[in-house]
Amino acid sequence: MDEKHWVENWKRVGPILEKIETEELRTKDNAETIRRLMPIIDWCIKRATPRTTSGLLEQQRLFQKLRKAKQEG
């Protein structure tokens, strides 16, 4: 199959495949997906470093910097 035929075929089949994929995602069993992902999630949780702060103080510092820069500029 040459490139022209390949492109023409993809233009025709692409939207059909997209509809199939959308329908599969819409009807997917989310509980099964989560069950399959749990080993990965558990692995990440076991190796994660606990946060010592929520990041709120750092966010407030950034807002203060932005406010000062806006007032100066």
Ordered by start, the domain boundaries in the chain are 3-72
Residue-wise pLDDT tens digits, 34-71: 899 999 999 999 999 888 888 999 999 999 999 999 99
Cα(62)–Cα(68) distance, integer angstroms? 10
pLDDT tens digits, residue range 2-19?
888 888 988 999 999 999
Query: Are the C-beta atoms of 40 and 48 separated by less than 8 Å?
Result: no
**Cβ contacts of residue 9 below 8 Å, gap of 6+?**
1
- For every residue of 10-52, DSSP letters joined together read HHHHHHHHHHHHHHHHHH--HHHHHHHHHHHHHHHHHHPPPPS
